[in-house]
């Protein structure tokens, strides 16, 4: 059963807390991406990785961090420096940087 | 100016209607073009890629005009199940960085 999984589906963060969102894919894709979607808006790129052990900042990387230690995993940490973290977070993967991107089911992050 | 702009919507149409969505992009170096569909509170799913010669998939037809930097999606014989938000997406210079429009919402009514 191939695909992209994200967990948890819902996540609650307290003020000043760091939280980590999981993204796993078993499609053998090289490239992985993290996006943020706010209500009524398009997706904005946070971080991306085209190969293991390498990643690049996207358009809104401040307050976020990532790692890419394994091909199948690309976790996103939302740090306390991100002042407005409430959003729908979407992970995507692609066979290559030119390939079509496929999305996981997303994680909704809410601040308590 | 936004890099990818779409019709604001929402579009409310009766079943069986034909509806067209438009999208413009600002970067003439853009290489790849897509339409994604997003249902309420779900992830985007690829509807179709858009090729220079235009392409059709059942009731859906996509067109690309590179000179005008314009992309369109035509849906014929609308179904209730077509109700969703349609996202116009552009990949510039094949960097893998997709630029998303804000989406156009379609509501098909019985």
* Averages of pLDDT over each 10 residues, chain B, 110 residues: 86 96 91 93 94 92 94 97 96 78 95
Minimum distance, in Å, between the CA of residue A80 and any CA atom of chain B? 25
Note whether A63 contacts B: Cβ–Cβ < 8 A: no
CB contact under 8 A, A42 and B98: no
- pLDDT (tens, 9 = 90+) of chain A, 112 residues, equals 569 999 999 999 888 899 999 999 999 999 999 999 998 788 999 999 999 999 999 999 999 999 999 999 999 999 988 889 999 999 999 998 878 899 999 999 998 8
- Interface residue ranges in chain B relative to chain A, Cβ cutoff 8 Å: 4, 32, 34, 41-46, 49, 87, 91, 94-98, 100-103
Minimum distance, in Å, between the CA of residue A43 and any CA atom of chain B? 6
- For B98, the closest chain A residue by CA position comes to A45
The β-bridge partners of B100 are B89
- Measure the CA–CA gap between A68 and A59, rounded to whole angstroms: 19
Token couple for A22: 């999981």
Can you give the pLDDT at residue A98? 77
Can you give the pLDDT at residue B94? 60
Can you give the pLDDT at residue A1? 57
CB contact under 8 A, B98 and A41: no
Can you give the pLDDT at residue B5? 94
Q: Of A29, A43, A46, A37, nearest to A98 (Cα)?
A: A29
Taking CB atoms and an 8 Å cutoff, what residues of chain B touch A35? 100
> Residues 6 or more apart from A86 whose CB is under 8 A from it?
A109, A110, A111
Other CB atoms within 10 A of residue B60 CB: 17
* Residue in the block written with tokens 């929402």: B10
Note whether A27 contacts B: Cβ–Cβ < 8 A: no
CA distances from B62 to A104, B39, B71, B76, B91 (A): 25, 20, 7, 12, 16
User: Most distant CA pair in chain A: distance in Å?
Assistant: 39
Q: Of B87, B88, B93, nearest to B71 (Cα)?
A: B88
Note whether A41 contacts B: Cβ–Cβ < 8 A: yes
Give chain A's mean pLDDT.
Answer: 93
């Amino acid at each position: 059963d191939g695909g992209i999984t994200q967990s948890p589906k819902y996540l609650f963060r307290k003020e000043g807390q760091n939280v980590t969102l999981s993204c796993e894919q078993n499609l053998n894709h090289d490239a992985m991406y993290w996006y943020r979607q706010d209500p009524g808006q398009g997706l904005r790129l946070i971080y991306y990785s085209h190969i293991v052990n390498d990643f690049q900042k996207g358009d809104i990387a401040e307050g976020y961090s990532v790692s890419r230690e394994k091909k199948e995993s690309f976790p996103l940490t939302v740090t306390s420096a991100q002042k407005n973290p409430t959003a729908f977070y979407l992970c995507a993967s692609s066979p290559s940087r030119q390939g079509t991107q496929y999305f996981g089911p997303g994680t909704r992050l809410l601040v308590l | 100016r936004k890099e990818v702009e779409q019709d604001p919507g929402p579009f409310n149409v009766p079943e069986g209607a034909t509806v067209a969505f438009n999208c413009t992009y600002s970067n003439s170096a853009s290489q790849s073009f897509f339409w994604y569909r997003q249902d309420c509170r779900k992830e985007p799913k690829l509807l179709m890629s858009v090729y220079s010669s235009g392409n059709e998939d059942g009731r859906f037809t996509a067109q690309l005009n590179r000179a005008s930097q314009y992309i369109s999606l035509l849906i014929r014989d609308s179904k209730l199940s077509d109700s969703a938000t349609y996202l116009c997406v552009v990949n510039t210079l094949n960097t893998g960085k997709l630029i998303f429009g804000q989406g156009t919402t379609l509501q098909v009514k019985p």
